[in-house]
Structure formats: C-alpha cells, structure tokens
Amino acid sequence: MCGIIGYTGGKQAAKILLNGLKRLEYRGYDSSGVAVIDNNRIDVIKSIGKISALEDKTDGGKKLNGFVGIGHTRWATHGAPSDINSHPHLSTDGNFAVVHNGIIENFAELKAELTAKGIRFASETDSEVIAQLLQYVYDGDMVEALRNVTSRLVGSYAVGIITSHCPDTLYAVRKDNPLVVGIGANENFIASDFAAALEHTHNFVQLGDGEIAKLTSHSATFFTADGEPVEKTPFRVDWDISQAEKDGYDHFMLKEINEQPKALTATVRPRVKGKDIVLDRINFDAKNTNRIERITIIGCGSAYHAGIVGKSFIEKYCRISVTCELASEYIYSDPITDNRTLTIVISQSGETADSLAALRLAKKCGSHTIAIVNVMQSAIAREAHDVLYTHAGPEIAVATTKGYTTQVSALYLIGLKIAKIKHTISDARYETLLSEIITLPDKVSEILADITPIREYAERFADRKCVFFIGRGTDYAASLEGALKLKEISYIHAEAYAAGELKHGTISLIEQGTVTLALTTQSALYNKMLNNIKAVQSRGGTVLAISSQANKQISEQSDGMLCIPDCDDDVTPVLTAVILQIFAYCVAAKRGCDIDKPRNLAKSVTVE
Ligand code: M6R
C-alpha cells in the first residue's frame, strides 16, 4: 500500500524523505518519488522500481536542495507503474505538488471537468486531480483552497501538499486513510505511519477526518473541515526505532516471530492484577456484561482467524453465542446486531478499510464496540467505544505473526473477564487458565530456542505444490492461520480443513506425497484425529503432526511430529501458531521468496 512522508524544518529535506521512504518500503510499492521546494520552485524526481533507483537518480538526495518536501511510495491502482504515474504529482503550472494515498472515486468526472477548462493531465492516476484542482481553485489562501478541493472529492485520501505560493509550509489533509503529524524540535513531519518519522520524533498528532494540517518548522496548526482552528494535543509513541529495524535478522518476519514472548507479555501482564483482569478503561461491570446476548467478532485475514480462535474460547467459558464475520462480507450484509450485541473488531493496523467500515456499521446498529488494535490512535482505535491495545510493537513484515498471537491472547483475556463476571467459569478453572495465559510467553520462548526440527521438515516439504492443514475444534481455527501464513509468503497452495470435513469432498485431492499438517493438541478429539490421519495416509498422503505433549504418541501414527510445550488444551493455538509461522518462514526461505514483501500484498489494506 502507498506510503507518505513529508518534512519541513532546518535540514535538507530530500535526505530525510528518502530515509523515511525506506522505512515505508515494507508496505509494498512499485515506484517512488520526492518533491522539494527550492528557491520558490518545486523540483520533482520520481522513479519506477526500488527506492535505490530513486536514490541513484537524486544522488542520495544531493540533487535536491530545499528544506520543505514530500515523498511517496506508490502501489499502482489507477494507471500502470511508471515514472509518470508515480507521485508526487504536479499541477500544470508547477506550483502545487501532492502525494496521495487512497482512491478518488469521482476522479474521472473531475478530470473531464478540468480538461474541458483547458487543464492538461500528465498521468493516468486519480491522484493528479488533487494537484490540478488546487491550481484551479487557489485564490491566495491555501487552507481555503484545500477545503474547497476536499469538498469536491469522493473517496478516501491522505494527502501531503507543498506549494511554491507558501514555500516554508507543508500541508496535509485526510479522510478514511491514515496520516499522522510528527511534532519535532524546529521541524515537523507528516507520515502515513509512525515508522517513517520515528527516528526524528516520538510525539505525534492524529489528523481527524476532514482536518487540515498547516506545518512550518516552528509551528503546527490544525483546522476543521469548516476551516475553524482546532487544538490538537500530541501523544507519545513509545516504540523504539530499533523495533522497526531488522536488528541482525534476515527478515522482519523472523525478527517479529522472535519478539512474540515480549509482545505477549506486553499484551497480558499489565492487565493482570493479582487474580483480577483489568482491561484498561473498558467497563465490564455486572450490569453491562449480563446484558450481552451475543458477540460478533469482525476482522480480515489473520485478524479474522484470531476471532475464530476467540469464538471457541468465549463460547465455552462465557456461554454466549459468538459469530465471526469477515469485515468485507459483514458490511454488505444486514447484520443482526443491536444494543445487546457486543461487537469486537480486530485489526493489527487499526486502519483496514473493510474493518473500519464494519465497525461503523455495528455502531450504527446500536452495538457496543471494542477494538483489539496494535497501532495507537489508529482509526479503528479512535472510533470504537473501547479499545484494547495489544502493545506488540511495530509489525513491519506483511505476514502478521506477533500481531496475530497477541490478538488471540487479548481475546482470551476478554473471555475470561466476561466468564468471571457471569459466573460461567469455576474459580479453579479461571485461575488455571489465567496462569496458563501468563506463562504462554515462556512456552513460546521454549519453541524459539531450537527451531531446527521445524526447519528440517519445512525444507523437506518446500518443493510441494499443495499442503493441507487439518484439525478439530480450536486446532481447526489454528489451521486456518497456518494455511494462510504458508500460502501468503511461500506461494504454495495451502488449504485448511476441519478434519471431519475431509470425507465430504477434499479427500479426493489427497494422493501419493500430498503433505498434510495435522494439528492434534485437543485430547478429547485425539481418537477422531487419528482416524482422519489414517484416512489421509491410506491414500498415500504424508502426515506431519503438530501435537501437544499429552498426545505425543501420535508420532507412531504419523510420518513426522513437532510438539508444543506442555500447556492447557484451550490455549494451544498461540503455540501451534508459532510453529506454523516458523514452518511457513522456513519453506519460503528455502524457496527464495521475498518473505517480508510477498507479491501482490500490502501490509495495511486501506482501500476496500
Ligand atoms: O491490520 P489488520 O489486522 O486489520 O490486517 C488484516 C489482514 O489484512 C492481515 O491480517 C493479513 O491477512 C495478513 N497479511 C496475514 O498475515
């Protein structure tokens, strides 16, 4: 997904912009560009391909003088990847340059209107209309011009703007697309995420929908969509810049897999006070909790899978019916949601467009909403009634790892909290599960201490065309995430099936050498899984079991086995997830894939 960085201050802008763009590389892009104001003139340099190509073209930034500028990494939507279609886009008179994330849905009408007035467009993009409109409406007041332009735009946008009419000033405006303002000492920034500006400042302001930022090196002023000045209080982001660096690991994904003990601790420990679970400011009093008749968990991709794990845990212990919904489906459904429904929206980034739209719909239906989010002050975090941050630290790799496991543990905490209030769990079971959740980070560390056996299996199976994942109950939920991880980064076709479903169709796909990863951590379902494993083997399939200590004897019945540390059956998905993440990582590494930036994928999907 596209990335934005903007700078105004006392240093040479181009170098800071190039550096910021490198921090945004993980979002996925096909071209990049920078624009800087030098002597009241805007200079633009753009390049298709890697940022290193842009560095070459700009001689590491040296070719661009000036202290105010904007930069962009583009992920093509309207118009093929090319130098011309890359951002920043200039107005025909060269006085306005813009970078844009999002989609301008009515760009064709606007383009036709401006073309009829004699304005010539250089690119095929939707974004260029913003620069051209600015030229057209500007009448000496930039804030007024931006209000005028945004009132005509339909769609989602985060826009950074510079203009030779105000050569010291950087402007920004956003709607339904993330953009933060970094407040530094005698310098200010705009960025599509914190990582791009984090090495310069930890103080940020979140720009609200429709708001305009006007930044110089010494001032940061903000306006509502009506042009009224608005005060904004910066908040601090405690993330360390080293967290956004590889730190000696070959890939961010591997680093983030290894950060899970720390991330899980950060999600859980501050919320456990003695035997109590205190979920920040969320008001789980008896009256509110007993009113909940159903729970809807909403997310996309791995966040949705975390929801499915949460569903079995919450239903089992809270005795409340839980449905899991894909955000992209939920928003076009007619959901059965009201003020007795608790809606939990899960999103690592907090900016996923479908999840944000689903949250808004749930609120509109009268539901109380809780967001489980990693990125502070992101749109979903701000718009939900309550938020539970996972505190996993920045997640850079496109394939989520610590994002997912911390979401699962946050759902465990919510489930236990509700169960305790509703008296649907015994004290003894509550205490056992709480202590199991608290010790999960140590057990994850145990897995990470020696990944050799996982790597050996992964390398053995790395040449396969198709891998199946099967499990029952919460193992099935964990299988879904295992399969997604493998297909996402290794491009091997992977499918997860509820093991009992195999015989209803899928087993026809099993043939000599087909690999099936069978999750067997649920003791109560062990014998049933054994039957499924035998059915696969008798058709020539190879079975690698991912087992709990209690079910270790599965090794005699399977072709290979990886074991998770001893733990309660109800919390095994966090541990199996780690094994499956490492498995997917090692397969992808063996196949030489671009692990952190898998093809066609973006970290944060801010368009529908
Ligand atoms: O930021 P979100 O949690 O809302 O992202 C949701 C999905 O796009 C995300 O989990 C995606 O499926 C991951 N790339 C999977 O690894």
State yes or no: pLDDT of 241 exceeds 90.
no
Q: Are 144 and 83 in contact (CB under 8 A)?
A: no
Q: 67-76, 235-244, 267-276: lowest mean pLDDT where?
A: 235-244
The CB of 398 under 6 Å from ligand 1? The reply is: yes
Q: How far is the CA of 581 from the centre of ligand 1 (A)?
A: 14
The reply to whether ligand 1 has any atom less than 6 angstroms from the CB of 21 is: no
Task: Answer yes or no: is the C-beta of 488 below 6 A from any ligand 1 atom.
Answer: yes
Cβ–Cβ < 8 Å for 215, 186: no
Residue 603 CA to ligand 1 center (angstroms) comes to 7
- Counting atoms of ligand 1 from 1, which one is nearest the CA of 604? 1
Look up residue 567 and give its DSSP letter: -
Q: What is the DSSP letter of 145?
A: H
* Chain Cα centroid distance, residue 488: 14
- With CA atoms as reference, report the closest residue to 358 among 311, 323, 392, 393: 323
Mutate to test the pocket of ligand 1, among 488, 605, 606 (most ligand atoms within 8 A of CB): 605
How many angstroms separate the alpha carbon of residue 303 from the centre of ligand 1? 6
Look at residue 1 in the predicted model and tell me its pLDDT.
Answer: 66
Pocket test for ligand 1, best of 300, 305, 351, 372 (most atoms within 8 A of CB): 300
State the Cα–Cα distance between residues 25 and 15, nearest whole angstrom.
16
Mutation test of ligand 1: which of 257, 348, 355 has the most ligand atoms closer than 8 Å to its C-beta? 348
Q: Is 352 in the pocket of ligand 1 (CB under 6 A)?
A: yes
Q: Which of 302, 491, 585, 608 has most ligand 1 atoms within 8 Å of CB, for mutation?
A: 302
Percent of the chain beyond pLDDT 70? 100
Among candidate residues 420, 378, 444, the one with its CA nearest the CA of residue 278: 420
> In this structure, is the dihedral angle defined by the CA atoms of residues 152, 155, 157 and 159, taken in order, positive or negative?
negative
Cα 173 to the center of its chain, rounded Å:
22
What's the whole-number mean pLDDT along residues 566-581? 98
Averaged pLDDT, 225-253: 87
The answer, as to whether pTM is greater than 0.75, is: yes
**SS3 of 87, please?**
coil
Q: How far is CA 410 from each of CA 84, 280, 407, 442, rounded to the nearest angstrom?
A: 45, 12, 5, 17
pLDDT one-digit tens code per residue, 499-557: 999 889 888 888 898 999 999 999 999 999 999 999 999 999 999 999 999 998 898 99
Q: Which pLDDT score, from 0 to 100, does residue 552 have?
A: 87
Q: Are 501 and 595 in contact (CB under 8 A)?
A: no
Q: How far is the CA of 486 from the centre of ligand 1 (A)?
A: 14
Summarize pLDDT for 320-370 with one digit per residue, the tens: 999 999 999 999 999 999 999 999 999 999 999 999 999 999 999 999 999
Q: Is 131 in the pocket of ligand 1 (CB under 6 A)?
A: no
- Is the CB of residue 300 below 6 angstroms from any atom belonging to ligand 1? yes
Q: Whose CA is nearest to atom 10 of ligand 1?
A: 302
- Residues contacting 50, CB < 8 A, separation 6+: none
Q: Is the pLDDT of residue 123 over 90?
A: yes
In 101-214, where does DSSP find H-type helix?
107-116, 128-137, 142-152
pLDDT confidence of 25, banded at 50, 70, 90? Answer: confident
Minimum mean pLDDT range among 155-164, 243-252, 412-421, 464-473: 243-252
> Are 408 and 437 in contact, with CB atoms under 8 Å apart?
no
Coil vs helix vs strand at 199: coil
Closest CA to ligand 1's atom 2:
347
Average pLDDT rounded to a whole number, residues 247-273 = 93
Q: Is the CB of 374 under 6 A from ligand 1?
A: no
Q: How far is the CA of 308 from the centre of ligand 1 (A)?
A: 14
Q: Is 36 in the pocket of ligand 1 (CB under 6 A)?
A: no
Find out whether 66 and 105 touch, Cβ atoms under 8 Å: no
Average pLDDT over residues 265-278: 95
Q: What 3-state DSSP class applies to 85?
A: coil
Q: State how far the Cα of 175 lies from the Cα of 104, in Å rounded to an integer.
A: 11
Size (the chain), residues: 608
**How far away, in angstroms, is 597 Cα from ligand 1 center?**
13
Cα of 182 vs centre of ligand 1, distance in Å, is: 25
| Type of residue numbered 517 | L
CA 493 – ligand 1 centroid, Å: 18
One-letter amino acid at 248 equals: G
Q: How many angstroms does the Cα of residue 599 sit away from the middle of ligand 1?
A: 15
- Pairing between strand 68-74 and 3-9? antiparallel
Catalytic (active-site) positions: 2, 603
Q: pLDDT band for position 29 (50/70/90)? A: confident
Of all protein residues, whose CA lies closest to atom 16 belonging to ligand 1?
Answer: 399
DSSP code of residue 269:
G
- Confirm if 527 and 554 have CB atoms less than 8 A apart: no
Which atom, in ligand 1's list, is nearest to the CA of 348? 3
Which residue's alpha carbon is at the smallest distance from atom 4 of ligand 1? 347
Q: Residue whose CA is closest, atom 14 of ligand 1?
A: 399
Between 598 and 492, the more confident residue is 492
C-alpha dist (Å) from residue 309 to 35, 270, 414, 528:
46, 22, 13, 20
**Confidence class for position 2, pLDDT limits 50, 70, 90:** confident
Closest CA to ligand 1's atom 7: 301
Question: Hey, what are 461's tokens?
Answer: 């199976």
